[in-house]
Amino acid sequence: MKLRDIWEDIDIYAICSTLNQIVNYIPIKVVRSQNYNKPIKILNITVKSESEKDSVFKRFDNKEWDKNLFDVLKKRESNIIYSDEDERNVIEIERKEVKYIKDELCKKIISKNKDDGLKFLDNICNYMNGVSSENKILWNITGGQRSTVFAIQEFIKKNQRKNDYLLYLEGNSNKIVYGKLNNSGFQYEILDEKYSIDNLHIRDVFQLAGFKITNRKNELINFLDDCNKNIDTKECKQLKLCEKIYKHYRNENDMELGEFFRERLLELNKHKDKNGNMICNEEKVEKFWNELKKKDFKNEFDNEDKNILLNMRNDNQNKFGYILEYMSISSIVNTIIQIPEMKNYFIGVYHSINLNRIDKKFKEKDTTQLCEFDIVLLSKSGQVVLFECKSGVMSSDVAKARQYTAYAAGGVYGKPVLITPILQYDRKLINKIFKNKSSLDKADREKIGKYNSTVIYALRAAARANLEVWGIDEIGEKLKELYEEAL
């Protein structure tokens, strides 16, 4: 059975208002991609919290969540046309609310008197005006709180609605679970297909979570597509250069050459010399380039590459951090395009995504800013992998903040990952140090000592924040594992 088969058999699509509205958006996009063009009537179930009605910042800001979903539907679905605008096919969006039912549900669970806690079922009936017993409803319970989900199940059982469907999207495996009521209770099965959206847009994903990408259109480059078509842009040239650098940086066959890149590139982050004098950007690049040209690269790097390197983040900040970001993008892109199945699953790789909150609680500009994500990887299932690349220091507070921002921007579909310039073997040695300082031999200690201490401190901060870490040379391997988890 496919999702369209269920949709052909229902009259109403019921959703639970949620912070992560992509779970309500996905089924609509999936069924539309299967050439289902009939009007879809949406019943929106909202749970209010009376204790927060006067709060500026709400845990359950359902009105804003609903607006995020409906704004994206209006923008992206050409066949969503409202009756007050036209008489063509209409998706009718009804904003319906149910009273906060958690307390009453608890009464039902602990009460011996069956009727004592069933009043909340009448609340659902009262607030669902226009929904008759003959209407067949598809209940998407993915975004619902447990109390709401239980109420929906009780509503179906009490009224013996055996033609209704329950729908749940499994976030990790991308499976669609559906259920129906029969004589023995609810029976659940998995649909033959997994959910995916071919034309999912990165701006929509974050808008559904309440955030706006502030990058201009020409700044929002999808490296999976754009740099395969055009290598003349500044970003694509930078990517090609960092791809060549990355090949040598991770070189394990010629350890001397690999260590040259790993040591010299880290020096590009230095701001002062041994005497405390400021080192300008041009001076750092010139020194690195002169040492580079002494190596036997057979003209692999030319003057154009030098100019590209010189102009990469030309603000005298951590230049190697910028190079690390582009080396990571190169590894991500090359891993995906080499495996057809992965290329069909991951649809976007983006750099330096800036997010602001859509809902402006205050006039001050700074109150709307969330953060900047170094790299964002988007899948057809709506999952976003949010990469933070650190070539220098990172505090535990910053690492913990990345956990928060990943959840805020991607919900359960957001996965934060720290990418470190440390190689996989060395990263594992450092983990041993964290566990037992006396566990390494002298050779391994000397090997670790070649890394800047700030990079090691960043790993410690990530460990404290329980933030997943990938070594720069294990991106491909980890990416394949992430893909296989979704199979």
Backbone phi and psi for residue 312, each to the nearest 5 degrees, phi listed first: -75, 115
Tell me, yes or no, whether 125 and 233 share the same domain.
no
Q: Is residue 42 part of a domain?
A: yes
- When mean pLDDT is compared across 105-119, 199-213, 262-276, the lowest value belongs to 105-119
For 365, the token pair is 């500009």
Q: Are 422 and 472 in contact (CB under 8 A)?
A: yes
pLDDT tier at 479 (50, 70, 90 boundaries)? very high
Q: Which of 164, 194, 224 delimits the end of a domain?
A: 194
Q: Which residue has the higher pLDDT, 163 or 91?
A: 163
Tell me, yes or no, whether 28 and 65 share the same domain.
yes
Tell me, yes or no, whether 283 and 404 share the same domain.
yes
Each residue of 349-370: pLDDT tens digit?
A: 999 999 998 876 555 555 467 7
Q: Residues of the chain with pLDDT > 90: what percent? A: 30
Tell me, yes or no, whether 14 and 125 share the same domain.
yes
The domain total for the chain is 2
- Residue 107's domain comprises 3-194
Backbone phi and psi for residue 14, each to the nearest 5 degrees, phi listed first: -95, 130
CB atoms within 10 A of CB 354: 16
What's the alpha-carbon Rg for the chain, to the nearest Å? 27
Q: Is residue 77 part of a domain?
A: yes
Tell me, yes or no, whether 189 and 234 share the same domain.
no
How far apart (Å, rounded) are the C-alpha atoms in residues 353 and 355?
7
**Confidence (pTM):** 0.83
Mean pLDDT in the chain? 78
Q: In what order do the strands lie in the sheet with 211-213?
A: 211-213, 346-357, 369-379, 384-389, 414-420, 468-471
- Residue 223, helix vs strand vs coil: coil
Side chain identity at residue 338, one-letter code? Q
Tell me, yes or no, whether 27 and 146 share the same domain.
yes
Question: ∠ at Cα 53 (49, 58), nearest 5°?
Answer: 75
Q: Is residue 200 part of a domain?
A: no
Q: Which of 160, 194, 228 delimits the end of a domain?
A: 194
Each residue of 45-64: pLDDT tens digit?
A: 776 655 555 554 555 577 78
How far apart (Å, rounded) are the C-alpha atoms in residues 82 and 90?
6
Tell me, yes or no, whether 324 and 387 share the same domain.
yes
Each residue of 4-38: pLDDT tens digit?
A: 999 999 888 888 888 889 999 999 999 988 888 88
Cα dihedral across residues 465, 466, 471, 472: positive or negative: negative
Residue bearing tokens 């059975």 = 1
- With CA atoms as reference, report the closest residue to 41 among 62, 13, 61: 13
